[in-house]
Amino acid sequence: MAKAARKSKAPPARRPARHQSRQSGSANRRPKRPTKEISLSALPSWLGFLYHPALKQALRYLLVILIISALCVGLWIAHWPQMLATKSGEYLGRKGFSVQHVEIVGLHHMDRQAIYEIASTQQSLAMPLVDLNIIRDRLLRFGWIEDARVSRRWPDTLVVDIIERKPAAVWQYHGALKLVDNSGILIADVDPHAVPELPLVIGAGANLHLEDLTRLLENSPDLKSRVDAASWIGNRRWDLHFASGETLALPEGSEAEVALTRFSHANREHHLLERGYVRFDMRIPTAPITARIAHDMPTKPVKSAKPAPPPVGDRI
Protein backbone atom coordinates (compact mmCIF):
# COMPACT_ATOMS: atom_id res chain seq x y z
CA MET A 1 0.00 0.00 0.00
CA ALA A 2 2.81 2.36 0.88
CA LYS A 3 4.53 1.68 -2.45
CA ALA A 4 1.32 2.33 -4.34
CA ALA A 5 0.82 5.53 -2.45
CA ARG A 6 4.34 6.65 -3.38
CA LYS A 7 3.77 5.92 -7.05
CA SER A 8 0.52 7.76 -7.10
CA LYS A 9 2.10 10.84 -5.53
CA ALA A 10 2.85 13.31 -8.34
CA PRO A 11 6.47 14.64 -8.62
CA PRO A 12 6.95 18.25 -7.67
CA ALA A 13 6.91 20.71 -10.60
CA ARG A 14 10.34 22.09 -11.58
CA ARG A 15 10.81 25.83 -11.97
CA PRO A 16 12.33 27.00 -15.25
CA ALA A 17 15.25 28.73 -13.59
CA ARG A 18 17.31 29.38 -16.69
CA HIS A 19 14.46 30.83 -18.62
CA GLN A 20 13.54 33.05 -15.77
CA SER A 21 17.12 34.16 -15.26
CA ARG A 22 17.41 35.06 -18.96
CA GLN A 23 14.20 37.01 -18.77
CA SER A 24 15.34 38.76 -15.61
CA GLY A 25 18.77 39.46 -17.16
CA SER A 26 17.24 40.93 -20.27
CA ALA A 27 14.93 42.94 -18.10
CA ASN A 28 17.86 44.36 -16.09
CA ARG A 29 19.95 45.27 -19.20
CA ARG A 30 20.03 48.85 -20.32
CA PRO A 31 18.54 49.48 -23.68
CA LYS A 32 21.00 50.40 -26.43
CA ARG A 33 21.21 54.00 -27.29
CA PRO A 34 20.09 54.75 -30.78
CA THR A 35 22.96 55.73 -33.14
CA LYS A 36 22.92 59.32 -34.01
CA GLU A 37 23.06 59.86 -37.70
CA ILE A 38 25.09 62.80 -38.83
CA SER A 39 22.90 64.90 -40.99
CA LEU A 40 23.90 67.71 -43.22
CA SER A 41 21.95 70.00 -40.97
CA ALA A 42 24.42 69.21 -38.12
CA LEU A 43 27.45 70.46 -40.16
CA PRO A 44 28.26 73.98 -41.18
CA SER A 45 26.84 74.87 -44.53
CA TRP A 46 30.30 75.23 -46.08
CA LEU A 47 31.15 71.55 -45.29
CA GLY A 48 28.12 70.11 -46.96
CA PHE A 49 30.09 69.27 -50.12
CA LEU A 50 31.92 66.50 -48.23
CA TYR A 51 28.86 64.25 -48.53
CA HIS A 52 28.47 64.72 -52.25
CA PRO A 53 28.50 61.27 -54.00
CA ALA A 54 30.79 62.46 -56.79
CA LEU A 55 33.37 63.63 -54.27
CA LYS A 56 33.31 60.31 -52.44
CA GLN A 57 33.88 58.48 -55.73
CA ALA A 58 36.77 60.78 -56.62
CA LEU A 59 38.37 60.19 -53.23
CA ARG A 60 38.17 56.42 -53.76
CA TYR A 61 39.91 56.75 -57.15
CA LEU A 62 42.54 59.00 -55.61
CA LEU A 63 43.23 56.45 -52.88
CA VAL A 64 43.69 53.70 -55.47
CA ILE A 65 46.07 55.89 -57.50
CA LEU A 66 48.12 56.68 -54.41
CA ILE A 67 48.44 53.02 -53.54
CA ILE A 68 49.54 52.10 -57.06
CA SER A 69 52.01 55.01 -57.15
CA ALA A 70 53.51 53.98 -53.83
CA LEU A 71 53.90 50.42 -55.14
CA CYS A 72 55.63 51.63 -58.31
CA VAL A 73 57.98 53.86 -56.31
CA GLY A 74 58.87 50.96 -54.09
CA LEU A 75 59.65 48.76 -57.07
CA TRP A 76 61.74 51.53 -58.64
CA ILE A 77 63.74 52.00 -55.45
CA ALA A 78 64.36 48.27 -55.39
CA HIS A 79 65.72 48.57 -59.00
CA TRP A 80 63.30 46.01 -60.34
CA PRO A 81 62.74 47.78 -63.71
CA GLN A 82 66.51 48.02 -64.28
CA MET A 83 67.01 44.41 -63.32
CA LEU A 84 64.21 43.32 -65.65
CA ALA A 85 65.63 45.37 -68.54
CA THR A 86 69.13 44.00 -67.94
CA LYS A 87 67.97 40.41 -67.85
CA SER A 88 65.90 40.90 -71.01
CA GLY A 89 68.83 42.51 -72.83
CA GLU A 90 71.22 39.75 -71.82
CA TYR A 91 68.74 37.16 -73.02
CA LEU A 92 68.51 38.86 -76.43
CA GLY A 93 72.30 39.05 -76.55
CA ARG A 94 72.56 35.30 -76.09
CA LYS A 95 70.07 34.84 -78.90
CA GLY A 96 72.34 36.61 -81.39
CA PHE A 97 71.50 40.29 -80.83
CA SER A 98 75.03 41.33 -79.82
CA VAL A 99 77.63 43.66 -81.32
CA GLN A 100 79.62 41.84 -83.97
CA HIS A 101 80.46 44.69 -86.40
CA VAL A 102 81.30 48.40 -86.14
CA GLU A 103 80.76 50.52 -89.24
CA ILE A 104 82.60 53.88 -89.30
CA VAL A 105 81.49 56.67 -91.65
CA GLY A 106 83.20 60.00 -92.33
CA LEU A 107 86.64 59.25 -90.85
CA HIS A 108 89.64 60.39 -92.91
CA HIS A 109 92.52 61.35 -90.60
CA MET A 110 92.06 59.64 -87.25
CA ASP A 111 93.09 56.07 -86.48
CA ARG A 112 90.13 53.69 -86.85
CA GLN A 113 91.45 51.29 -84.26
CA ALA A 114 90.78 53.81 -81.48
CA ILE A 115 87.11 53.96 -82.45
CA TYR A 116 86.85 50.17 -82.63
CA GLU A 117 88.23 49.90 -79.12
CA ILE A 118 85.77 52.45 -77.73
CA ALA A 119 82.80 50.73 -79.39
CA SER A 120 83.82 47.28 -78.18
CA THR A 121 84.77 48.11 -74.57
CA GLN A 122 81.29 48.10 -73.04
CA GLN A 123 79.93 46.47 -69.90
CA SER A 124 77.73 44.38 -72.15
CA LEU A 125 77.85 43.89 -75.91
CA ALA A 126 74.17 42.90 -76.07
CA MET A 127 72.58 45.30 -78.54
CA PRO A 128 69.81 46.55 -76.21
CA LEU A 129 72.32 47.24 -73.41
CA VAL A 130 74.96 49.16 -75.39
CA ASP A 131 75.01 52.76 -74.12
CA LEU A 132 75.23 54.93 -77.24
CA ASN A 133 75.63 58.16 -75.27
CA ILE A 134 78.72 56.88 -73.47
CA ILE A 135 80.31 55.90 -76.79
CA ARG A 136 79.59 59.35 -78.22
CA ASP A 137 81.00 61.15 -75.17
CA ARG A 138 84.21 59.14 -75.41
CA LEU A 139 84.55 59.87 -79.12
CA LEU A 140 84.17 63.62 -78.58
CA ARG A 141 87.29 63.60 -76.41
CA PHE A 142 89.41 63.19 -79.54
CA GLY A 143 90.57 66.43 -81.10
CA TRP A 144 89.88 65.30 -84.64
CA ILE A 145 86.20 64.60 -83.93
CA GLU A 146 83.92 67.63 -84.01
CA ASP A 147 80.70 65.64 -83.70
CA ALA A 148 79.62 62.01 -83.70
CA ARG A 149 76.38 60.06 -83.97
CA VAL A 150 76.13 56.43 -82.87
CA SER A 151 73.19 54.21 -83.84
CA ARG A 152 72.19 50.56 -83.88
CA ARG A 153 71.65 48.52 -87.01
CA TRP A 154 69.93 45.38 -85.92
CA PRO A 155 70.77 42.66 -85.34
CA ASP A 156 74.52 43.02 -84.70
CA THR A 157 76.04 46.30 -86.04
CA LEU A 158 76.91 49.67 -84.52
CA VAL A 159 77.12 52.58 -86.98
CA VAL A 160 79.46 55.45 -85.98
CA ASP A 161 79.02 58.58 -88.10
CA ILE A 162 81.95 60.99 -87.64
CA ILE A 163 82.30 64.69 -88.51
CA GLU A 164 85.98 65.63 -88.44
CA ARG A 165 87.40 69.06 -87.76
CA LYS A 166 89.08 70.86 -90.62
CA PRO A 167 92.67 71.95 -89.89
CA ALA A 168 93.14 75.67 -90.43
CA ALA A 169 96.59 76.44 -89.03
CA VAL A 170 99.58 75.20 -87.06
CA TRP A 171 99.93 76.84 -83.67
CA GLN A 172 103.42 77.23 -82.21
CA TYR A 173 103.64 77.84 -78.47
CA HIS A 174 106.50 77.07 -76.10
CA GLY A 175 108.31 75.24 -78.87
CA ALA A 176 105.46 72.77 -79.49
CA LEU A 177 103.44 72.58 -82.68
CA LYS A 178 99.70 71.90 -82.58
CA LEU A 179 97.18 71.48 -85.35
CA VAL A 180 94.13 73.71 -84.77
CA ASP A 181 90.86 74.40 -86.55
CA ASN A 182 89.46 77.82 -87.40
CA SER A 183 88.00 78.17 -83.88
CA GLY A 184 91.39 77.49 -82.29
CA ILE A 185 90.46 74.04 -80.94
CA LEU A 186 93.43 71.71 -80.67
CA ILE A 187 93.24 68.78 -83.07
CA ALA A 188 96.53 66.92 -82.79
CA ASP A 189 100.26 67.28 -82.30
CA VAL A 190 102.39 68.12 -85.32
CA ASP A 191 105.65 66.41 -86.17
CA PRO A 192 108.31 69.12 -86.66
CA HIS A 193 109.72 67.08 -89.55
CA ALA A 194 106.33 66.84 -91.30
CA VAL A 195 104.64 70.21 -90.88
CA PRO A 196 101.56 70.52 -93.14
CA GLU A 197 101.19 73.34 -95.65
CA LEU A 198 99.08 75.56 -93.40
CA PRO A 199 99.49 79.05 -91.93
CA LEU A 200 101.66 79.22 -88.83
CA VAL A 201 100.43 81.27 -85.88
CA ILE A 202 102.80 81.97 -83.01
CA GLY A 203 102.30 83.07 -79.42
CA ALA A 204 100.03 82.67 -76.43
CA GLY A 205 96.38 82.89 -77.46
CA ALA A 206 97.16 83.07 -81.18
CA ASN A 207 94.95 80.05 -81.84
CA LEU A 208 91.95 81.79 -80.28
CA HIS A 209 92.20 84.74 -82.71
CA LEU A 210 92.60 82.70 -85.86
CA GLU A 211 89.22 83.77 -87.24
CA ASP A 212 90.22 87.44 -86.96
CA LEU A 213 93.48 86.72 -88.80
CA THR A 214 91.66 84.85 -91.56
CA ARG A 215 89.21 87.72 -92.03
CA LEU A 216 92.09 90.22 -92.03
CA LEU A 217 93.99 88.41 -94.78
CA GLU A 218 90.87 87.87 -96.89
CA ASN A 219 90.66 91.63 -97.40
CA SER A 220 94.15 91.67 -98.99
CA PRO A 221 94.31 88.60 -101.23
CA ASP A 222 97.51 89.78 -102.96
CA LEU A 223 99.34 89.60 -99.61
CA LYS A 224 97.60 86.53 -98.22
CA SER A 225 99.51 84.13 -100.43
CA ARG A 226 102.80 85.74 -99.38
CA VAL A 227 102.23 85.54 -95.60
CA ASP A 228 104.18 82.64 -94.13
CA ALA A 229 103.36 83.10 -90.42
CA ALA A 230 101.71 85.49 -87.95
CA SER A 231 102.63 86.30 -84.36
CA TRP A 232 100.04 87.37 -81.79
CA ILE A 233 101.78 90.11 -79.78
CA GLY A 234 100.77 91.09 -76.26
CA ASN A 235 97.34 89.57 -76.70
CA ARG A 236 96.29 92.64 -78.70
CA ARG A 237 97.76 92.78 -82.25
CA TRP A 238 99.42 90.85 -85.11
CA ASP A 239 102.88 90.78 -86.68
CA LEU A 240 102.81 89.29 -90.18
CA HIS A 241 105.87 87.38 -91.41
CA PHE A 242 106.23 87.16 -95.18
CA ALA A 243 107.83 84.25 -96.98
CA SER A 244 110.46 86.64 -98.38
CA GLY A 245 111.68 87.39 -94.84
CA GLU A 246 110.00 90.72 -93.94
CA THR A 247 107.86 91.41 -90.88
CA LEU A 248 104.90 93.79 -90.85
CA ALA A 249 103.83 95.16 -87.46
CA LEU A 250 100.11 96.00 -87.56
CA PRO A 251 98.13 98.19 -85.15
CA GLU A 252 95.48 96.93 -82.75
CA GLY A 253 91.82 96.26 -83.36
CA SER A 254 90.00 97.37 -86.48
CA GLU A 255 92.90 99.62 -87.52
CA ALA A 256 94.81 96.50 -88.57
CA GLU A 257 92.56 95.99 -91.60
CA VAL A 258 93.00 99.61 -92.73
CA ALA A 259 96.76 99.40 -92.25
CA LEU A 260 97.09 96.13 -94.21
CA THR A 261 95.07 97.59 -97.09
CA ARG A 262 97.31 100.62 -97.08
CA PHE A 263 100.43 98.45 -97.11
CA SER A 264 99.01 96.42 -100.00
CA HIS A 265 98.61 99.59 -102.11
CA ALA A 266 102.11 100.76 -101.19
CA ASN A 267 103.59 97.39 -102.13
CA ARG A 268 101.95 97.49 -105.55
CA GLU A 269 103.32 100.96 -106.18
CA HIS A 270 106.82 100.68 -104.66
CA HIS A 271 107.48 96.90 -104.58
CA LEU A 272 108.37 96.95 -100.88
CA LEU A 273 108.73 93.22 -100.50
CA GLU A 274 111.93 91.45 -101.57
CA ARG A 275 113.85 94.71 -101.54
CA GLY A 276 116.05 94.02 -98.54
CA TYR A 277 113.79 95.38 -95.81
CA VAL A 278 113.44 93.32 -92.67
CA ARG A 279 110.62 95.13 -90.85
CA PHE A 280 107.76 97.49 -91.61
CA ASP A 281 106.23 99.31 -88.67
CA MET A 282 102.59 100.41 -88.96
CA ARG A 283 101.63 100.27 -85.30
CA ILE A 284 100.64 103.96 -85.43
CA PRO A 285 97.89 104.12 -88.05
CA THR A 286 98.30 107.82 -88.89
CA ALA A 287 102.10 107.71 -89.18
CA PRO A 288 104.04 106.88 -92.39
CA ILE A 289 105.23 103.35 -92.95
CA THR A 290 108.56 102.94 -91.21
CA ALA A 291 110.93 100.47 -92.90
CA ARG A 292 114.15 99.00 -91.55
CA ILE A 293 116.90 97.68 -93.77
CA ALA A 294 119.15 94.77 -92.84
CA HIS A 295 122.75 95.92 -92.41
CA ASP A 296 124.23 92.56 -93.34
CA MET A 297 122.13 92.08 -96.47
CA PRO A 298 124.22 90.30 -99.14
CA THR A 299 124.71 92.09 -102.43
CA LYS A 300 122.82 90.48 -105.28
CA PRO A 301 124.65 90.22 -108.64
CA VAL A 302 123.33 92.45 -111.37
CA LYS A 303 122.04 90.33 -114.27
CA SER A 304 121.68 93.16 -116.80
CA ALA A 305 123.20 96.48 -117.65
CA LYS A 306 120.05 98.30 -116.73
CA PRO A 307 120.49 100.74 -113.86
CA ALA A 308 119.18 99.63 -110.53
CA PRO A 309 115.91 101.18 -109.40
CA PRO A 310 116.21 104.11 -107.01
CA PRO A 311 116.31 103.07 -103.36
CA VAL A 312 113.23 103.61 -101.26
CA GLY A 313 113.74 105.76 -98.19
CA ASP A 314 113.23 104.72 -94.62
CA ARG A 315 109.82 106.38 -94.58
CA ILE A 316 107.25 105.66 -97.25
Q: What is the pLDDT of residue 66?
A: 80
Q: What is the pLDDT of residues 244-284, one digit of tens each?
A: 999 999 999 999 999 999 999 999 999 999 999 999 999 99
Q: 169-293 in CATH: which number?
A: 3.40.50.11690
Bigger pLDDT: 218 or 308? 218
- Asked if omega into 298 is within 30° of 0 (cis), the reply is no
CA gap 230, 246 in Å, rounded = 11
Q: Order of strands across the sheet with 101-105?
A: 101-105, 157-164, 145-153
Position 189 pLDDT exceeds 90: yes
Q: What is the pLDDT of residue 294?
A: 74
Average pLDDT, stretch 232-237?
96
Average pLDDT, stretch 41-45?
56
Length of the chain: 316
CATH topology agreement for domains 97-164 and 169-293: no
Position 28 pLDDT exceeds 90: no
Bigger pLDDT: 80 or 145? 145
Bigger pLDDT: 184 or 7? 184
- Among residues of the chain, what percentage have pLDDT more than 70? 70
Q: What is the pLDDT of residues 216-229, one digit of tens each?
A: 999 999 999 999 99
Average pLDDT, stretch 185-195?
94
Q: What is the DSSP letter of 10?
A: P
Average pLDDT, stretch 126-155?
94
Q: What is the pLDDT of residue 69?
A: 79
Q: What is the pLDDT of residues 69-112, one digit of tens each?
A: 777 776 566 555 666 666 676 767 678 788 999 999 999 999 99
Position 40 pLDDT exceeds 60: no
CA gap 252, 239 in Å, rounded = 10
DSSP one-letter string for 81-112: HHHHHHHHHHHHHHTT-B--EEEEES-SSS-H
Q: What is the pLDDT of residue 313?
A: 42
Which CATH superfamily groups domain 97-164?
membrane protein fhac (3.10.20.310)
11-15, 160-164, 233-237, 283-287, range with the lowest pLDDT: 11-15
Q: What is the pLDDT of residues 2-16, one digit of tens each?
A: 444 444 455 555 555
Q: What is the pLDDT of residue 105?
A: 96
Q: What is the pLDDT of residue 303?
A: 33
The domain ranges of the chain are: 97-164, 169-293
Arithmetic mean of pLDDT over the chain: 80
Q: Is the pTM of this model over 0.95?
A: no
Helical segments of 201-243, H only: 210-218, 221-224
Residue 120 pLDDT grade (very low, low, confident, very high; cuts 50, 70, 90): confident
Q: What is the pLDDT of residue 132?
A: 94
Q: Are strands 290-293 and 277-281 parallel, antiparallel or unpaired?
A: antiparallel
Q: What is the pLDDT of residue 4?
A: 46
Radius of gyration of the chain (CA): 49
Q: What is the pLDDT of residue 53?
A: 72
Q: What is the pLDDT of residue 51?
A: 62
Q: What is the DSSP letter of 130?
A: -
Bigger pLDDT: 68 or 108? 108
